[in-house]
Structure 1
Amino acid sequence: MATYEDYDSFELTWEDQEDWLLPKVLEHQAEQRGDETFLQWETTDRTVSFAETNRIVNRLAHGLRDHGIEKGDHVLLMLPNSPEYLFLWFALSKIGAVEVPVNTSYKRDTLTHVANLTEAEFGVFHEDFVSRIDEVESELTHLESVAVLGDDSASAPSDSGLEFMPYEELESEDEANPDTDLAYHDVASIIMTSGTTGPSKAIQKTYAHQYFFSEQCVNLVQLTEDDVYMTGNPLFHSNAQVLVVFPALIAGAKVCLFEKFSASNWVDRLHETGATVCNFLGSMMDFVYQQPEREIDDRNELRCLFAAPTAYGIQEEFEERYGIEYTAEVIGTTETCMPVMSPYGVDRPEGAAGLLLSEYFDVQLVDPETDQPVEDGQMGEYAIRPKIPWIMTPGYYGMPEKTEEAMRNCWFHTGDGLRRDEDGWFSFVDRIGDTLRRRGENISTYEVEQPILEHPAVEECAVVGESAAEEGGEDEVKAFVVFKEGRSATPKELTEWCNDRMPYFMIPRFLEFVDELPKTSNEKIQKEKLRDRGNSEATWDRTESEVMISKD
């Protein structure tokens, strides 16, 4: 059975784990690359060299220490993408403090949850979000001080019990590298999960975990000092940090950072930045593809697109349209790095994301009920364990019961359903909770949703199982559909569309057209809320209509 190493070598820039420290990498690159550009902010003239980045970061690191922040302290960062966010993240690493990114959509209960769970006493907030602190101040159990980034010095509430200060007070004049006793197994950051079925969990990431994640990306996209890596993905997510910024730092590449992703401006950004590598999440690939074609689409320097997941239905056309050499993919999690990777330049079987990086990980696909391995070709839960220490999370902060649950039987259980073919290629199927069973057929909701999403009138779709008493308690397929503005389709049209694109047993019996889907603050669809709705007068039932489907 093939592994990643059968197709490509996996190389570490720093082989000794003692060196797997972001501050050490930054200081090395500042010394070796000096005035070479590390960071470009959007398409402006604001650029920062490796050496200047290190000087700015050092001033902040000493300033944070002057305000009482020490090794092991948890610090909230609630900021939009900006150079200042990157500098603060690096500065916290320099002194061994733990960065706690806060999703900028968080408010009230979600904001209170992350602040209290992580026991952070200090935070840096953009002025636009200070009012959210004021709304929940009485519920905050640990937060004491807040630095405010922005132009409005009056944004801090005058009657607050918290101490507020302008961001500028964190900047010292000391540009020397701070002396900090760091170890690769120390916790460097806490990243919040999305919490689709309960409160968000706080994923602890060590310095080694951060570093290895980033080295994987360097290998995955074949990143070098000649590359320009562009992203508008939010820095409060792990993706932008360890799959864009830190890999570029390791490779000596240039980062072009934007405040937000823009599908309509993506091609223009490619031209203006000279980007050679770009990173997509979720539906970004499709959003870009839906833009009107332009003569300049393929007149760019882009050679590699890292798209997780890859939109297989449009991949070939997308690559041809934009002149892309290779689309890379992985199957990983924030907790585990990326055990499954696509070897660069290798054609993958249809729908396959990659092969096991066997030198560093063991993977099993198991029955979620029994933890027994399933046979090749069958869907099983993605279970992982590392072959070297500290490249996976040491656990969820403040939730030991969740850590124990995830690490059942000495394997980390991801909750993802995968298949492995006889040659070793892994394909994502669905979240384990997002599969249903109809008349003896196991159905992946993902595999029903994708063809529906390809309909020109459909903006979003979520498929769930709807109980049907006449079916002996098993599920019938139900699809919730959101149409694009100004577009629509009838239930009959959608059913015929599905009939042409999926097995008959996957075609939804129930359709319900809605204005929006319930989502978490991380934009993940909350399917449990859709399941709880049940059917209503707004639900269309195919069996009660005259619409017929073919079993051919």
Structure 2
Amino acid sequence: MDELKPRPENSTPLTPLGFLERAATVYGDCTSIIYNSVTYNWSETHRRCLQLASSIQSIGIRRSDVVSVLAPNIPAMYELHFAVPMAGAVLNTINTRLDSRTISVLLRHSESKLIFVDYQSSSLILEALCLFPPNSPRPLLILINEVGQVLESPTTTTLDFISTYEDFVNKGRPDFEWVRPVSEWDPIVLNYTSGTTSLPKGVVHCHRGIFIMTINCLMDWGVKKQPVYLWTLPMFHANGWCFPWGIAAMGGVNVCLRKFDAVSIFEVIRVHNVTHMCGAPIVLNMLTNSPDGKPLINPVQIMTAGAPPPAAVLLKTEALGFVVSHGYGLTETASIVASCAWNPNWDKLSPEKRARMKARQGVGTLINVVDVVDPETGKSVNRDGSTLGEVVIRGGSLMLGYLKDPVGTSKCIKDGWFYTGDVAVMDPDGYLTIKDRSKDVIISGGENISSVEVESVLYTHPAVKEAAVVARDDEFWGETPCAFVCLKEGIKVGTSEKELVEYCRERLPHFMAPKTVVFIKELPKTSTGKIKKFELREQAKAMGPGIKMSGP
């Protein structure tokens, strides 16, 4: 069989962009996007993306250039998930909760050539660009107006933009031949892990990986044709776990929300007959704590991931009529790589026991292999539910690597595995449960927070001698940063809990600032001088969960 080999006819590069073409053919007259009073069908979405890709290329954006987007879950954000790579460029979605300093660092690191900016973030992006070094190249700007919004006259802010979004779309050619990848290994997206302003970690994924992961997510979740998907998960968060492309593949409806609360979620579910949605455990908390949380008429499938959801929250969510699926993934894996695949025999268990089973991170999905190993030997830990090890992953959705960081890439991808830094146990049935994070990452409202970065800000305060930050359970956010601070002798100015929190909020994105500050005489340490964070975590746990409901 030596003469049988890959040929151009049987080795077309895999890419998720073809899903849009198929949706336009099969579901052309069916609704693709709903946003307030605006509705598009799949033929219109396909045409708009082609026009947008044409305009992007017309201003000099070339293959593998980075194009950034700073916007909430609006139609433009959805369209750009197709249009940017259809122009041959690499899509970089930016977290709208970041501050100007962080955004400036990421834009410079990525060498972004063009930024699409929602009008509510226009001042933020201009502040970020002002932080660029003198004479350094700056990206072009496109202003995304609210749909139907008309600017009465140019302002100082709008004059910094070369075009508005709709004008840019309308200038493009609907017959544009979109730029297909030369290789399925060509990059398609660049996503930054949170809390990395000092050392940005830009995760690069290829067309092949995103194609495979999109199909994987649809199969693992059991998504049927033409779902009605409510966008409560930010599309800037790991590209909405690949569902911008996935909903196109299934010819579904994207219900977009600029912002939301529990009341609006329940209203949209009722009006549009929503069938699917995703979100961090904070969304589950929001739904279960709402006075409007009445049982649903029809069940809604909801996928949650991020901080491990408490079993009690899962129980309350399902009592409302939501069918909760629980998964585990990282920015480096594009989406869910392990899920708590449901065993029908568990239906016989009590509701409390079912919730505890579902709270586990589960088993590898169809395209991924997930294991828990001893980080020193690389051998699998005992499946006893108590032996700790590090979660490792391999599969078709793993990133190409970190942008401009071969050392960082080689540190976590080695011996045929991606080492996540997450600590877990493996149960006798082969399901894993996350127990801790060896890298001390705090997940608050689905966003990763580097404890090291928060500590570095605390250390700049003149009264702080030592500081350590760990996660504290929070009934609303899942986890929030809790700072243990040792003060210098004789300095008392600006050292109340409130003052230190405000100090951090002035220097960090607000969601990264500590919500709790504990003053102690000395931090617990090992014989080698390392801070015993596990003891601090126990102290934070003993404090009980925070219940403050106000957001950052």
Scaled to the shorter chain, the TM-score interval is 0.7 to 0.9
Residues 138, 319 of structure 1: alpha-carbon distance in 2 compared, 3 angstrom cutoff: closer
> What residue identity is the alignment partner of 2:410?
E
- C-alpha separation between the residues in 2 aligned to 1:247 and 1:530? 39
Q: 1:102 aligns with which of 72, 94, 107?
A: 94
Equivalent residue, structure 1, for 2:258: 259
Equivalent residue, structure 2, for 1:143: 138
Equivalent residue, structure 2, for 1:31: 25
Matched, 1:180 2:179: yes
Equivalent residue, structure 2, for 1:491: none
1:83: how far off?
Answer: 0.7
Matched, 1:367 2:374: yes
1:300: how far off?
Answer: 3.1
Q: 2:303 aligns with which of 299, 303, 306?
A: 306
> What residue identity is the alignment partner of 2:311?
Y
- C-alpha separation between the residues in 2 aligned to 1:519 and 1:17? 52
Q: Map of 1:44-55 to 2, 5 A cutoff?
A: 44-55=36-47
Equivalent residue, structure 2, for 1:283: 282
- C-alpha separation between the residues in 1 aligned to 2:431 and 2:485? 32
> What residue identity is the alignment partner of 1:332?
G
> What residue identity is the alignment partner of 1:363?
V
Matched, 1:215 2:212: no
SS at match of 1:259: coil
1:206: how far off?
Answer: 1.1
Q: Map of 1:225-374 to 2, 5 A cutoff?
A: 225-238=225-238, 240=240, 242=242, 244-292=243-291, 297-308=294-305, 309-320=308-319, 322-324=320-322, 326-336=323-333, 337-343=335-341, 346=344, 347=346, 350=357, 351-357=359-365, 360-368=367-375, 371-374=378-381
SS at match of 2:332: coil
Q: 1:132 aligns with which of 120, 124, 127?
A: 124
Equivalent residue, structure 1, for 2:403: 397
1:424: how far off?
Answer: 0.2
Q: 1:422 aligns with which of 411, 418, 428?
A: 428
Root-mean-square deviation over aligned CA pairs: 3.7
Residues 116, 434 of structure 1: alpha-carbon distance in 2 compared, 3 angstrom cutoff: closer
| Most deviating of 373-382 and 78-87 | 373-382
- C-alpha separation between the residues in 2 aligned to 1:173 and 1:515? 47
On the 8 A contact 1:112/1:139 being kept in 2, the answer is yes
- C-alpha separation between the residues in 2 aligned to 1:313 and 1:74? 43
Identity %: 21
Cα offsets for 1:475-520 (capped at 9, x unmatched) = xxxxxx99xxxxxxxxxxxxxxxxxxxxxxxxxxxxxx98999799
SS at match of 2:262: coil
SS at match of 2:230: strand
> What residue identity is the alignment partner of 2:26?
Q
SS at match of 1:233: coil
- C-alpha separation between the residues in 1 aligned to 2:85 and 2:111? 18
> What residue identity is the alignment partner of 1:302?
P
Equivalent residue, structure 2, for 1:381: 390
Equivalent residue, structure 1, for 2:84: 92
1:379: how far off?
Answer: 2.1
Q: Map of 1:523-538 to 2, 5 A cutoff?
A: 525=512, 535=520
Residues 256, 338 of structure 1: alpha-carbon distance in 2 compared, 3 angstrom cutoff: same
SS at match of 1:154: coil
Residues 128, 283 of structure 1: alpha-carbon distance in 2 compared, 3 angstrom cutoff: closer
Q: Map of 1:400-479 to 2, 5 A cutoff?
A: 400-434=406-440, 449-450=472-473, 453=474, 462=481
On the 8 A contact 1:55/1:175 being kept in 2, the answer is yes
> What residue identity is the alignment partner of 1:535?
I
Q: Which runs of 5+ in 2 are unaligned?
A: 1-9, 347-353, 442-469, 487-496, 523-535, 537-541, 543-552
Residues 148, 431 of structure 1: alpha-carbon distance in 2 compared, 3 angstrom cutoff: same
On the 8 A contact 1:64/1:170 being kept in 2, the answer is no
Cα offsets for 1:84-110 (capped at 9, x unmatched) = 122222111212211111222333321
> What residue identity is the alignment partner of 2:340?
S
Equivalent residue, structure 2, for 1:73: 65
> What residue identity is the alignment partner of 2:225?
E
On the 8 A contact 1:61/1:94 being kept in 2, the answer is yes
1:463: how far off?
Answer: 5.7
Residues 51, 516 of structure 1: alpha-carbon distance in 2 compared, 3 angstrom cutoff: farther
1:52: how far off?
Answer: 0.9
Equivalent residue, structure 1, for 2:14: 20
SS at match of 2:17: helix
Equivalent residue, structure 1, for 2:199: 199
- C-alpha separation between the residues in 2 aligned to 1:459 and 1:50? 37
On the 8 A contact 2:117/2:125 being kept in 1, the answer is no
Cα offsets for 1:247-289 (capped at 9, x unmatched) = 2111222221111231233222211121111212132211221
1:364: how far off?
Answer: 3.0
On the 8 A contact 1:418/1:428 being kept in 2, the answer is yes
- C-alpha separation between the residues in 1 aligned to 2:31 and 2:75? 13
| Most deviating of 121-130 and 250-259 | 121-130
On the 8 A contact 1:464/1:530 being kept in 2, the answer is yes
**TM-score of the pair, normalised by structure 2:** 0.73
Matched, 1:59 2:44: no
1:190: how far off?
Answer: 0.5
On the 8 A contact 1:76/1:101 being kept in 2, the answer is yes
Q: Which runs of 5+ in 1 are unaligned?
A: 1-15, 436-444, 468-480, 483-512, 542-546, 548-552
- C-alpha separation between the residues in 2 aligned to 1:460 and 1:120? 32
Cα offsets for 1:354-407 (capped at 9, x unmatched) = 2223x5333332334564543223221111122x5xx21111112222212221
Equivalent residue, structure 2, for 1:83: 75
On the 8 A contact 2:53/2:178 being kept in 1, the answer is no
1:188: how far off?
Answer: 0.7
Cα offsets for 1:221-268 (capped at 9, x unmatched) = 2111242111232222125251x3222111222221111231233222
- C-alpha separation between the residues in 2 aligned to 1:397 and 1:171? 33
Residues 407, 369 of structure 1: alpha-carbon distance in 2 compared, 3 angstrom cutoff: same
Equivalent residue, structure 2, for 1:442: none
| Most deviating of 122-131 and 458-467 | 458-467
Residues 35, 132 of structure 1: alpha-carbon distance in 2 compared, 3 angstrom cutoff: same
Cα offsets for 1:156-195 (capped at 9, x unmatched) = 55996xx733331353352125142313211111011102
Residues 187, 461 of structure 1: alpha-carbon distance in 2 compared, 3 angstrom cutoff: closer
1:523: how far off?
Answer: 7.2
**TM-score of the pair, normalised by structure 1:** 0.73
On the 8 A contact 2:86/2:180 being kept in 1, the answer is no
1:199: how far off?
Answer: 3.3
Question: How many residues are aligned here?
Answer: 454
On the 8 A contact 1:234/1:260 being kept in 2, the answer is no
On the 8 A contact 2:266/2:292 being kept in 1, the answer is no
Matched, 1:165 2:163: yes
Cα offsets for 1:35-58 (capped at 9, x unmatched) = 0112111xx332111111001111
> What residue identity is the alignment partner of 2:46?
N
On the 8 A contact 1:276/1:302 being kept in 2, the answer is yes
Equivalent residue, structure 2, for 1:496: none
SS at match of 1:378: coil
- C-alpha separation between the residues in 2 aligned to 1:461 and 1:27? 43
